[in-house]
Structure 1
Amino acid sequence: MQNIFFFHHSLFIKRCLTFITLITAFVALNGCVSTLDENPYTYTPSASPYQDVENAQQRAVEQSKLLLVVLGAQWCHDSTGLAERFASKEMDLILRAHYETVFVDVGTLEDRRNITQRFDYPIYYATPTVMVVEPKTGALLNRTSMDIWGRADSIPLSEYIQYFSRFPAMTTAQKAPFINWQATDEEKAYNKEQALRLQSAYDKLGPMLALDLQGNTPQGLNELWKETKGFRTELQKTLIKRAELSLDSENGNGVNTAPALRHYNPFSWEQN
């Protein structure tokens, strides 16, 4: 009787353990599925955003894809609006087929100049900032149209599809002007100086923005935001216009009459 009892008891334990193993495997499998279903287009804090971009660029080279770098933040409606369009079935197919995409979280306007300057772009002038890069050379293929993404949430999906379908179809000859493009020494010095000023504004805005996101809007935030927006918008407009005219001139499409490199008045806090 005792032997029979122990036999049945042992058999029962084995069956329980088998059942638990199956349940554990089922839960683990479900966990994998739910992870795959998560939206990959999110701005997640990273300990090494620059390394993330480097790694993505290397993968793009290895897979013969374009590199797509998006700098933005979860608090920014244009950044999240772009992420929502990217997650659509149509855009997701395009991005997975032709791009190695990396989202870079800028937090509360943190310094990401090391990333933008990797591709000869001084700083992010808006969130989101979208960079379409030829990964072997680091050439910025959408240099003359980056400003549109500052209003990403208002751009219809059809325009997203058209825009991001365009770059994979570019020929070597069409890419060449962007690969060969270089800022003048004067432009480089100017862009570096103005990017430093803009980052100083971001550094002042960042802590105020963090408080605002916690529900404690500090006095003067809106005024400072508007002042900084006016500065960064004009800077980017000039940068893009000069690049457009430079590229047109290289292609023999007219005389290069680039706008002057404007010098701005001090920020309000710089006058105190």
Structure 2
Amino acid sequence: MINLFKLKPFLILLVTISLVFNHYSAFANETKEEKSQGEKYISFEHQMQDVDKVISLAKKNNKLALIVMGANWCHDSRSLARNLFSQEVKEVIDTHYELLFINVGFMEKVRPVITRFGMPIIYSTPTALIIEPNSELLINRHNIHTIRDADSVSIADTKAYFENIAINRSKLVQSLSSLDANIDQKKLKQLNQEIDNFENYQADRIYQAYEVIGPMIKERKSGVKNKNFQKYWKSASKLRYTITDDLDKLRGQAIKIAKNKDSNEKLDFPTYPKFAWE
């Protein structure tokens, strides 16, 4: 009789290999035309002025501002840009949004725009910021990473994501602006500050990672391959993907603790390994 428990690690390995293969197969099968259609991340010399303009236009037209931060070298960034101009999604975007693409370069043009809207860093390309223009609130922060793997997100799911945010615009703004009477707001503020400090520390580490990996990406675009690139990229990506889920858990834990006014429970902060080059 086959021992399924002994087979389990092997089966997990097979599934992982299959997912990785499918991911890179989709990337490899991207046609030149598809690649060109997704290359919307042109160089902006005055990014903050462009952000001001799109927010002003959104306010004037009673729409949301959609700011997509990405890069032409990133296949997920190209996929999201291409999906936004598909017939099904474009109708939603044209109706509810004013759209701006921000080129993050080789991860060196990240900080000014993202910090304006209350986040210390972007954890992935692409990152789609949905801004309510009157308050400049980032109203999709709760699920901002849903479509970061855009090459694996269907047209239907992409449409549903942006459509649901637009439909629930007022509720999202209200939820970000109102206070829950059942929560000790002083305690919650203190706990959130602890989380912010933790996130800022990790964000600084990721910025340092971008300084290491960014030039390598640029070299690869010129045909120069660094033998350490894959190892370094994987090391940084592991943290970039893990921390977003961990931050969501910490915010949820903070609310739970703050609801119990007599609780002395502390936040359970995760620890992460050093980067491959550290």
TM-score using structure 2 length: 0.74
Q: Structure 1's 45 and 247: CA in aligned 2 closer, same or farther, altered over 3 A?
A: farther
Once the two structures are superposed, residues 55-99 of structure 1 have per-residue CA deviations (whole angstroms, 9 ceiling, x without a partner) of 211211121111111111111111111111111122112111111
Structure 1 residue aligned with 2:82, among 56, 81, 84? 84
Contact 1:70-1:129 within 8 A present in 2 as well: yes
Q: Structure 1's 237 and 259: CA in aligned 2 closer, same or farther, altered over 3 A?
A: farther
Q: In 1, Cα distance between the equivalents of 2:62 and 2:112?
A: 24
Structure 2 residue aligned with 1:50, among 42, 48, 51? 48
Query: Aligned residue for 2:68?
Result: 70
Query: Aligned residue for 1:211?
Result: 219
With 179-188 and 208-217 compared, the bigger mean Cα shift is at 179-188
Query: Aligned residue for 2:93?
Result: 95
Q: Are 2:175 and 1:177 equivalent residues in the alignment?
A: yes
Larger of the two Rg values belongs to structure: 1
Q: Structure 1's 177 and 41: CA in aligned 2 closer, same or farther, altered over 3 A?
A: farther
Structure 1 residue aligned with 2:228, among 215, 220, 226? 220
- Aligned-residue offset at 1:41: 7.3
Q: Residues 99-118 of structure 1: matches in 2 within 5 Å? A: 99-118=97-116
Once the two structures are superposed, residues 223-244 of structure 1 have per-residue CA deviations (whole angstroms, 9 ceiling, x without a partner) of 0000000111112122233445
Contact 1:147-1:237 within 8 A present in 2 as well: no
Q: Structure 1's 148 and 172: CA in aligned 2 closer, same or farther, altered over 3 A?
A: closer
Secondary structure of the structure 2 residue equivalent to 1:70: strand
- Aligned-residue offset at 1:123: 0.7
CA RMSD after TM alignment: 2.9
Structure 2 residue aligned with 1:153, among 151, 157, 173? 151
* Counterpart amino acid of residue 82 in structure 1: L
Query: Aligned residue for 2:239?
Result: 231
Q: Are 2:135 and 1:137 equivalent residues in the alignment?
A: yes
Q: Point out where structure 1 has 5 or more consecutive residues left out of the alignment.
A: 1-37
* Counterpart amino acid of residue 134 in structure 1: E
Q: Structure 1's 91 and 71: CA in aligned 2 closer, same or farther, altered over 3 A?
A: same
- Aligned-residue offset at 1:137: 1.5
Percent identical pairs in the alignment equals 28
TM-score using structure 1 length: 0.75
Number of equivalent positions: 230
- Aligned-residue offset at 1:247: 7.3
- Aligned-residue offset at 1:39: 6.3
Q: Are 2:201 and 1:193 equivalent residues in the alignment?
A: yes
